[in-house]
Amino acid sequence: MDFRPVGIFDSGMGGLTAVRVLRRLLPGEDIAYLGDTARVPYGGRSVEELRRIAESDVRFLRGRGIKAMLVACGTVSSNCLDYVQQIAGVPAIGVVKPTALEAARATRNGRIGVLSTVATTRSGAFVRELAAIDPALCAVPSGSPKLVPLVEAGRADPADPEVAAAVEECLREVRDAGVDTLILGCTHYPLLSEAIRAYMGGDVALIDSGAAGARALAQLLDDGDLRSPRKSFGRTACYASGDAGEFARVAELFLKRDFSQTTFKTAVL
Ligand code: DGL
């Protein structure tokens, strides 16, 4: 049993898709969330840059006295999770493995689309993870630089022509490949689920990397006997390295019902 908060970080809004699921699974846990909005997007950066950035994100969360960490960023998880685990000082997990496991369980025809940032696609991490689970699985990757900036600007409406066009552009080949399961391999993308579902059709299973990461974090707390003894009223402290007011505005736009007991502050990294 452990009253300390869990730490979760992402480049911006995306990791809140993990926070909202963790809130429901473990309502008594305190959460320290960092959205590095001053440096978003991460998805076009080199491995070297990502390591440097992740180092300051980890340092910030360690300063909040956390007991465990979720890297709720597909880009950092797929490019430098091992480095984060070395420097975290507490048990740390990423989103790639739990998301790939959920996708492998969900598929019926063995064809799985992997939508992610460009840096995640370049890393090949999801494709490797799926092959390790079952070499017979066929992964169809697609990396896009266009979706994260739309989400950060609070734009996710399928009726928004720019949103619909960006979704179509990055998913055309994936849809044509006949996948029955689609990994949303960037944690921003579950916020675009409606637009993605509208394009892919209702039969394709969408696998939410934020939710999968949250479930894996809950399991980690159970396994390590790290759960808070409190059963409710956990607090979420959201820190943004950019404009905290703007972060709060967009966060509440997407996730309003899930954000009671939440404070928003500026993070100096
Ligand atoms: N949510 C991050 C991810 O999961 C977004 C990356 C970005 O900032 O481009 O990859």
Reported as a single tens digit per residue, the pLDDT across 43-82 is 999 999 999 999 999 999 999 999 999 999 999 999 999 9
Structure tokens given for 202: 């209702």
Residue-wise pLDDT tens digits, 92-118: 999 999 999 999 999 999 999 999 999
pLDDT in tens, 164-173: 999 999 999 9
Mean pLDDT of the chain: 96
- Residue at token pair 């890393």: 123
Residue where the block lists tokens 């940032």: 117
> In this structure, what CATH number is given to the domain that contains residue 84?
3.40.50.1860
- Judged against a pLDDT cut of 80, whether residue 174 lies above it is answered with yes
Q: Is 73 in the pocket of ligand 1 (CB under 6 A)?
A: yes
* 1 lies in some domain: no
The number of the ligand 1 atom at minimal distance from the alpha carbon of 186 is 4
pLDDT tens readout for residues 199-216: 999 999 999 999 999 999
**Co-location of 103 and 189 in the same domain:** yes
* Cα(169)–Cα(159) distance, integer angstroms: 15
Query: Which of 163, 185, 209 represents a domain boundary (last residue)?
Result: 209
- Separation between Cα atoms, residue 81 and residue 99, nearest integer Å: 15
**Same-domain pairing of 247 and 190:** no
Ligand 1 pocket test: which of 11, 95, 183 has the largest number of ligand atoms within 8 Å of its C-beta? 11
Domain count, the chain: 2
118: nearest Cα among 46, 63, 69: 46
Q: Indicate if 73 belongs to the active site.
A: yes
Would the pLDDT of 259 be above 80? Answer: no
Measured CA to CA, the distance from residue 172 to residue 224 in angstroms comes to 43
Q: Is residue 193 part of a domain?
A: yes
Q: Answer for the pair 175, 92: CB distance below 8 angstroms, yes or no.
A: no
What spacing in Å lies between the alpha carbon of 197 and ligand 1's midpoint?
20
Nearest-atom index, ligand 1, CA of 43: 9
CA of 230 to the centre of ligand 1 (A): 31
Whether residues 203 and 76 share a domain: the answer is: no
Structural domain includes residue 110:
yes
How far apart are the C-alpha atoms of 200 and 34, rounded to whole Å? 31
Verify whether ligand 1 is closer than 6 Å to residue 99 (CB atom). no
Asked whether residue 33 falls in the same domain as residue 53, the answer is yes
Report the DSSP pairing between strands 138-143 and 111-116: parallel
Indicate yes or no: pTM above 0.85: yes
Within-domain flag for 181: yes
For residue 72, the ligand 1 atom closest to its alpha carbon is 4
Same domain, 107 and 136: yes
What domain range includes position 160?
A: 96-209
